């Protein structure tokens, strides 16, 4: 099972970014007020249960922890969306999915290298 951590402050965000230099990190940006995000959260939970402990899964609740969510968007240089999953390696986003694309299968494929890395500048 993957390791899970909710991120609620800048210090925790920094720790999870540092952790991405040691292992892959799946960062989930979740809106607790959105039904699409609730569906995506179930997909994340399924992923956590089925994946190895070599992956760290972090979650930012975008309403409850808005400053941290904004800081993540700024530090990672990606457009804010929720629900949104970002795959991090070496403090950089190497893959992302949002809304209906957030599935256990898509995350697993990205972590295993079966999905192409993204170009955030396009």
Tokens standing for residue 7 = 């991120």
CB-based burial, 55-90: b 16+ in 10 Å, e otherwise:
bbbbbbbbeebeebbebbbeebebeebbbbbbbbbe
Question: What integer is the mean pLDDT of 61-80?
Answer: 95
Domains contained in the chain, CATH given: 3-111 (3.40.30.10)
How, if at all, do strands 25-30 and 56-61 pair?
A: parallel
pTM: 0.92
Average pLDDT over residues 49-58: 93
Structure confidence at residue 122 as a pLDDT band (50, 70, 90): very low
User: How confident is the model at residue 52, as a pLDDT?
Assistant: 87
Lowest mean pLDDT among 9-18, 80-89, 108-117: 108-117
**In contact, 107 and 85? CB cutoff 8 Å:** yes
Residues 10, 12, 14, 16, CA torsion sign: negative
Lowest average pLDDT, out of 46-50, 52-56, 63-67, goes to 52-56
For the chain, give the mean pLDDT. 93
């Amino acid at each position: 099972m993957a390791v899970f951590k909710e991120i609620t402050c800048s210090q925790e965000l920094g720790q999870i970014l540092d952790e991405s230099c040691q292992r892959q990190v799946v960062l989930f940006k979740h809106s607790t007020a959105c039904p699409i995000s609730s569906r995506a959260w179930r997909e994340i939970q399924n992923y956590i249960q089925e994946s190895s402990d070599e992956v760290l899964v972090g979650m930012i609740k975008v309403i409850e922890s808005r400053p941290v969510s904004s800081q993540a968007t700024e530090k990672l240089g990606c457009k804010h969306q929720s629900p949104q999953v970002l795959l991090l390696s070496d403090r950089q986003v190497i893959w992302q999915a949002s809304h209906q694309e957030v599935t256990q299968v898509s995350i697993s494929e990205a972590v295993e290298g079966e999905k192409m890395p993204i170009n955030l500048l396009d």
